[in-house]
Amino acid sequence: MTQQTALEKARSAYQPKLPDSLRATSLAEKSPMPASSDAQIRDLFPHTFDLPEVIFIKGAARIEAKPIRAGVILSGGPAPGGHNVIAGLFDAIKSINPESSLFGFANGPDGLISNKGMELDAATIARYRNTGGFDIIGSGRTKLESQEDFLKAMDTVKARNLTALVVIGGDDSNSNACKLAEFAREQGSPLCVVGVPKTIDGDLRGDNIETSFGFDTASKVYSDLIGNIQRDAISARKYWHFIKLMGRSASHIALECALQTHPNITLISEEVAERGLTLKQIVDQIADVVSHRASQGEKFGTVLIPEGLIEFVPEMGALMSELNEVLAEHGEAFNALESLSTKREFVTGHLSSTSATLYRSLPDDIANQLILDRDPHGNVQVARIDTQRLLIDLVESRLKEMKAAGTYKASFSPQPHYFGYEGRCAVPSNFDADYTYTLGYTAALLLRENLTGYICSVRHLTRPAAQWRAGGIPMARMMNMERRHGKIVPVIKKALVELDGPAFKELEKNRDAWAKNTQFAFPGSIQYFGPSEVCDRPTITLELESAAK
Ligand code: FBP
């Protein structure tokens, strides 16, 4: 273990805030979920669909309960606060019964399938309190979804004599946690499975899940960096900064960062898809803003680009799904080819003529990135596509055309940036530190009640933490049927940016002014100690959504 920095020392002493209603004394209040006519999902989840909603309310006396022998998994990409979920879970199971124990499975679902990991004790947990990262046990993207995986998982559960499993993950991991909960009951096992909503992308949410953890910290880290770049832009007055921001599918991060920093241009993938904007239209819009600002003597600016944009541009989306199919079908022949140029030729030969023309028109490095390794779902890894460079190339070409036509006279100096990994393991903000500790605590209380198939739900998040309402809702209630790998399967629906939602409306209201004028905002870095209005403010998205309720 490396020596702790001064901030790490101070943070390890930070005691995350818990809702007043959440203690070992809390009582579980159950109320029926709204009626549902989704017979298909109900049939697929007969043991976990018709469960009540649970809210923990203040109780007076400690509730006696058996020891909980829990296993915990961190699944998918890291998100600030994961360690505090584990700390909250650990503290709560110990306060429920000191004989309780916690086993951390190594490297995500793999650890559960192969029965690898470590017993988590107080000394280990102490080193990770309020720190970023998932390194306490590691994470992984292996999917726990087949019957075989479930049987192996159940073998591990038996071998370790576990009574409970907590899955900390995104929409896919929680979908699979829900299936495992159902599978366990089907097998007659008493195992309780509880999910915790994680992802910096902010796309795992719903009526009862106001946000996923990590979104707050990650978007504040990116906003700090964007603000710094904007300060540089108005100081040096010479660069256009094209900034790609993480967010695999949804544009919540780009939207939140825009609300925090007021950039000149913010692309929102969901709007691009809704309006059917072509790449050319997007490029023309950016070039027009560049040109307008240059005519005002402002040859600088910022463009925010959500990571998933490329897939939402209709013609690019069509090309990418064709590429996914070609690579899935002809993977062996493709892998046997040596050079990237022959690989590009090979895939082009299998594309429709429209997609082939588009593919040929892309710069070589982008065309290469589109045929790189697939993720475990067989999809392009958009994090690896330099959309910011692609847009710079295309805007440069457009400005050349405009120059030739005499409609643009200035120079154009672009700078590409990609902010992703910079934010995923940051030291959690006070909000995320408190929220994640509360989520872990809530998971333990759901397990104390022997509840399975639940996802932790903490609401009223814009109020002081003492007033948050914590409980759980049946995960099966978040499921819908979707096509995945050619099959219709039950999964938790990804929550994309809603174009009629208050956060997007706020951007829409301001974006013309932000494009034409320079109204940059500089949020600065996350503050951990100091006045509450500086240190504890939630995201603007959350504030706007809560005000609109
Ligand atoms: P999760 O959905 O698993 O939380 O991960 C989200 C994310 O951070 C995306 O924003 C990004 O596309 C992806 O992870 C990149 O993951 P990696 O490079 O680690 O596979």
What tens digit of pLDDT does each residue of 69-102 get? Answer: 999 999 999 999 999 999 999 999 999 999 999 9
E strand spans, 312-356: none
What's the gap in Å between 77 CA and the centre of ligand 1?
A: 5
Q: Which two tokens stand for residue 17?
A: 């805030």
Q: In this prediction, what percent of the chain has a pLDDT beyond 70?
A: 99
What's the gap in Å between 306 CA and the centre of ligand 1?
A: 13
What average pLDDT does range 487-513 have in this prediction?
A: 96
pLDDT tens figures, 403-460: 999 999 999 999 999 999 999 999 999 999 999 999 999 999 999 999 999 999 999 9
Return the residue whose CA atom lies nearest to atom 16 of ligand 1.
77
What's the gap in Å between 497 CA and the centre of ligand 1?
A: 17
Q: In this prediction, what percent of the chain has a pLDDT beyond 90?
A: 87
pLDDT tens figures, 54-71: 999 999 888 889 999 999
Whether 197 is in the pocket of ligand 1, judged by its Cβ within 6 Å, is no
Q: Which two tokens stand for residue 33?
A: 């979920």
Q: Which residue has the tokens 């390890």?
A: 12
8 A C-beta contact, residue 318 and residue 395: no
Atom of ligand 1 nearest to the CA of 308: 12
Task: Identify the sign of the CA torsion 531, 535, 538, 539.
Answer: positive
Whether 270 is in the pocket of ligand 1, judged by its Cβ within 6 Å, is no
Return the residue whose CA atom lies nearest to atom 20 of ligand 1.
77
8 A C-beta contact, residue 74 and residue 137: yes
DSSP one-letter string for 139-181: -B-----SHHHHHHHHHHHHHTT-SEEEEEE-HHHHHHHHHHH
Whether 424 is in the pocket of ligand 1, judged by its Cβ within 6 Å, is yes
Atom of ligand 1 nearest to the CA of 75: 3
> Which 8-state DSSP code applies to residue 52?
P
Whether 170 is in the pocket of ligand 1, judged by its Cβ within 6 Å, is yes
Return the residue whose CA atom lies nearest to atom 1 of ligand 1.
77
CA distances from 503 to 256, 259, 379, 524 (A): 8, 8, 29, 21
pLDDT tens figures, 17-67: 999 999 878 899 999 999 888 899 999 999 999 999 999 999 988 888 999
Alpha-carbon span 296 to 517, nearest angstrom: 9
Whether 203 is in the pocket of ligand 1, judged by its Cβ within 6 Å, is no
pLDDT of residue 485: 67
Instruction: Label the pairing between strands 469-474 and 164-169.
Output: unpaired
User: Mind telling me the catalytic residues?
Assistant: 201
pLDDT of residue 525 exceeding 90: yes
Return the residue whose CA atom lies nearest to atom 17 of ligand 1.
77
pLDDT of residue 60: 84
pLDDT of residue 195 exceeding 80: yes
pLDDT of residue 1: 59
Q: Please say whether the structural domain 17-34+53-214+425-478 has been given the CATH code 3.30.420.40.
A: no
Q: What is the CATH number of domain 223-423+500-548?
A: 3.40.50.460
CA distances from 9 to 122, 131, 424, 427, 434 (A): 17, 10, 21, 12, 18
What average pLDDT does range 383-390 have in this prediction?
A: 89
pLDDT tens figures, 126-149: 999 999 999 999 999 988 888 999
At 84, give phi and psi (nearest 5°): -75, -25
Look over the chain and give the mean of its residue pLDDT values, rounded to a whole number: 95
pLDDT of residue 510: 98
Residue to probe by mutation, ligand 1, list 200, 213, 491, 492, most atoms within 8 Å of CB: 200
CB neighbours of 43 closer than 8 A, spacing ≥ 6? none
Note the Cα 161 to chain centre separation in Å: 32
Annotated domain spans of the chain? 17-34+53-214+425-478, 223-423+500-548
What's the gap in Å between 76 CA and the centre of ligand 1?
A: 7
pLDDT of residue 363: 87
pLDDT tens figures, 282-328: 999 999 999 999 999 999 999 999 999 999 999 999 999 899 889 88
Return the residue whose CA atom lies nearest to atom 18 of ligand 1.
383
pLDDT of residue 344 exceeding 80: yes
Nearest CA among 171, 65, 168, 35 for reference residue 109: 168
- Indicate the SS3 state at residue 517: coil
Q: Which residue has the tokens 């009582």?
A: 27
Whether 78 is in the pocket of ligand 1, judged by its Cβ within 6 Å, is no
Residue to probe by mutation, ligand 1, list 244, 248, 379, most atoms within 8 Å of CB: 248
Atom of ligand 1 nearest to the CA of 382: 12
Whether 209 is in the pocket of ligand 1, judged by its Cβ within 6 Å, is no
Instruction: Label the pairing between strands 101-105 and 117-120.
Output: antiparallel
∠ CA 134-155-178, nearest 5°, is 60
- Indicate the SS3 state at residue 101: strand
Same fold for the domain at 17-34+53-214+425-478 and the one at 223-423+500-548? Answer: yes
Whether 247 is in the pocket of ligand 1, judged by its Cβ within 6 Å, is yes
What's the gap in Å between 264 CA and the centre of ligand 1?
A: 26
Q: Which two tokens stand for residue 18?
A: 């818990």
pLDDT tens figures, 237-296: 999 999 999 998 999 999 999 999 999 999 999 999 999 999 999 999 999 999 999 999
Q: Which two tokens stand for residue 103?
A: 């086993």
pLDDT of residue 484: 76
Residue to probe by mutation, ligand 1, list 171, 199, 310, most atoms within 8 Å of CB: 199
